[in-house]
Amino acid sequence: MQGYLSRLAWSDAAVIIVAVAAAQIVRFGADSAMTPNGDVQAPATYVSVILAFAWLVTLRAFQTLDRRIIGAGSQEYSRVVTACLSLFGVLAMVDLLFRLNIARGFLAIALPVGTIGLLLERWLWRKDLSRRRARAENLEHVLMVGEPASALPLMKRLVSHPSLGYRVVGICLPGRSGPRSSVVMGDDEVPVYGNFDDVCDAVARSGATTVAVTSAEALGHTAMQNLSWDLEGLDVDMVVAPGVIDVAGPRMMMRPVAGLPLLHIDKPRYEGANRFRKAIVDRVGAAILVLALSPVLAAVAVAIKLDSRGPVFYRATRVGINNSHFKMWKFRSMVQNADDLKGNLRAHNEGNGVLFKMRDDPRVTRVGAVIRRYSIDELPQLFNVLGGTMSLVGPRPPLPDEVDQYDGRVARRMLVKPGMTGLWQVSGRSDLSWEESVRLDLSYVENWSIMQDALILWKTVRAVFAKDGAY
Q: Does 75 share its domain with 155?
A: no
**Does residue 47 sit within a domain?**
yes
Domain boundary among 224, 243, 262: 243
Q: What are phi and psi of 258, to 5 degrees?
A: 55, 40
Q: Are β-strands 188-191 and 260-265 bridged in parallel, bridged antiparallel, or unpaired?
A: unpaired
Q: What SS3 state is found at 318?
A: strand
**Does residue 253 sit within a domain?**
no
- Number of domains present in the structure of the chain: 3
Q: Does 119 share its domain with 8?
A: yes
Helix residue ranges per DSSP H, 216-258: 216-219, 221-230
Residues 181 and 179: their CA atoms lie apart, in Å, by 7
Q: Does 226 share its domain with 349?
A: no
The shares of helix, strand and coil residues in the chain, as percent rounded to the nearest 5, are 55, 15, 30
- Cα dist from 299 to 190, 305, 371, 383, 471, whole Å: 56, 10, 12, 17, 21
**Does residue 249 sit within a domain?**
no
**Does residue 263 sit within a domain?**
no
408 lies in which domain range?
A: 272-466
Q: Does 149 share its domain with 129?
A: no
Q: Does 80 share its domain with 7?
A: yes
pLDDT digits (tens, 9 = 90+) for 63-75: 998 877 887 777 8
Q: Does 145 share its domain with 123?
A: no
Q: Does 200 share its domain with 292?
A: no
CATH of residue 176: 3.40.50.1980
Domain boundary among 84, 110, 134: 134
pLDDT at 389: 92
**Does residue 15 sit within a domain?**
yes
Alpha-carbon torsion (174, 176, 179, 183), positive or negative: negative
Going residue by residue through the chain (471 aa), what tens digit of pLDDT does each one get? 677 888 899 999 999 999 999 988 887 777 766 666 656 666 778 888 888 999 999 999 999 988 778 877 778 888 999 999 999 888 888 877 777 777 677 788 889 999 999 999 999 998 888 888 877 777 889 999 988 888 888 888 888 777 778 889 999 988 766 667 778 776 778 888 988 888 899 998 999 989 998 887 777 778 888 888 888 878 788 888 876 665 655 566 666 666 666 766 666 665 555 678 888 989 999 999 999 999 999 999 999 999 888 899 999 899 998 889 999 999 999 888 777 766 667 666 655 555 666 667 778 899 988 898 888 999 999 999 999 999 999 888 888 887 877 776 677 777 788 999 888 777 765 566 667 777 788 778 777 777 788 888 888 877 666 655 454
Q: Does 308 share its domain with 442?
A: yes
Q: Does 230 share its domain with 146?
A: yes
Cα 469 from chain centre: 19
**Does residue 248 sit within a domain?**
no
**Does residue 266 sit within a domain?**
no
**Does residue 197 sit within a domain?**
yes
Q: Does 75 share its domain with 151?
A: no
Residues 441 and 394: their CA atoms lie apart, in Å, by 8
pLDDT at 471: 45
Residues 201 and 147: their CA atoms lie apart, in Å, by 19
Q: Does 174 share its domain with 286?
A: no
Domain boundary among 204, 226, 243: 243
Q: Does 295 share its domain with 406?
A: yes
